Amino acid sequence: MPVVKVDLPQRAYQIHIGPDMLSRACQLMTDLELHGRALLLSNRKVYRLYGGRTRAVLEKHYSVYPYLIGDGERYKSLHTVEKVLRFLIRNRFERGDTIVALGGGVVGDLAGFAAAVYLRGVNFVQIPTTLLAQVDSSVGGKTAVNDPLGKNLIGSFYQPRLVLADTQTLRTLRQRELLSGLGEIVKYGFIADPQILQTLGKHRQTIAPELIARCCQIKAGIVRADETEKNKRAVLNFGHTIGHALETYTHYRFSHGEAIAIGALAAVYMSILRGHLKYSALDKIQKLYRRLGLPAHTGLRLSADKIYRIIQSDKKVADSRLRMVLLKDIGKPLICPVEYEEIVRALDII
């Protein structure tokens, strides 16, 4: 079973990927000398599927306190974090205790942010149960909650002590949840490894642990070089500038991965307009999307002004200039300033 190491100078940790990882959670946590109590943070849907089993495994060594939130982006908020923190305070959790996130990106991001701010930092373990979380959001230490003005605007960098990606949990995902994960996998093909796109084109129904591990390896290498996104790590935002804006603009009508896939198409088109890619690249990518079942357009009339205003409040704006990740070629990203007119033209094709 693949093991990927996120080799940071003071906060190195491992990602264990494969079937039946849930049964190894207690052993791997105690191997890291994590003791005390565990807050098992999940949502009701995931907990019904895996909560009882996870709790039973952890209770071999830990006193486990389940805490359940609602399902969906609207629960990824300061209000929800406040309730989690109050629960920790009332139950007198200490700095040596651990928050365990069992769920997808919303659960992981929110649990990580709570772990970062409670007592200025407590132990944090990720058990991602969605494809998107396993290949992306559980890795790298970005934690955040949303604000009505934008996605992930309130957060911190806070690395987990351990990530356990149990691939058996992917069997219970709905098709749309799998597609959301594919949107992030495609991103890694665009920015780092074109072979991923070829693999998906041939074997779209098979998400092997090795493919998940490859995505984690790419992200781990980028995070190792730039943990807090001073420069190089920003390439992981490919497709996210317009993608996040679409999520906010449509009140999360699109899943995260769907929005990122559409945002990636817009970035490809902008790269074509700048002469970096040939027009044929857009056609090839749209065909791949159709094969995978990913959306190639929104089906909406988008207001460029509203989208641009949302983007202007994004974290990627620096010195009042919007920077986006474009492509010199497939697998060769570049970060550069972009103008309003380019955004308008890109929105026309989505």
Is 120 a known active-site residue?
yes
Is 91 a known active-site residue?
no
Is 142 a known active-site residue?
yes
Q: Could you say which of 55, 240, 316, 342 is catalytic?
A: 240
Measured between alpha carbons, how far is residue 205 from residues 170, 182, 201, 202 in Å? 12, 10, 10, 9
Overall size of the chain counted in residues: 350
Neighbours of 49 (CB within 10 A): 15
Q: Could you say which of 55, 151, 244, 316 is catalytic?
A: 244
Q: CA 118, 123, 124, 125: dihedral to nearest 10 degrees?
A: -160
Q: Could you say which of 43, 123, 152, 237 is catalytic?
A: 237
Give the position of tokens 């987990």. Answer: 160
Q: Could you say which of 187, 214, 233, 316 is catalytic?
A: 233
Is 79 a known active-site residue?
no
The Cα 341–Cα 336 span in angstroms is: 15
174, two tokens:
């709905």
The β-bridge relationship of strands 37-43 and 63-69 is: parallel
Q: Could you say which of 73, 177, 227, 229 is catalytic?
A: 229
Helix, coil or strand: residue 287: helix
Contact assessment for residue 286 and residue 296, using Cβ atoms and an 8 Å cutoff: yes
Q: Could you say which of 37, 43, 161, 184 is catalytic?
A: 184
Q: Could you say which of 142, 151, 214, 316 is catalytic?
A: 142
Is 233 a known active-site residue?
yes
Q: Could you say which of 37, 151, 256, 316 is catalytic?
A: 256
Is 219 a known active-site residue?
yes
183, two tokens:
């949107």
Q: Could you say which of 90, 92, 120, 230 is catalytic?
A: 120
Q: Going edge to edge, which strands form the sheet with 63-69?
A: 3-6, 13-18, 162-166, 123-128, 98-103, 37-43, 63-69
Is 53 a known active-site residue?
no
Nearest to 336 by CA among 345, 327, 347, 348: 327
Question: Which residues are known catalytic residues?
Answer: 120, 142, 184, 219, 229, 233, 237, 240, 244, 256
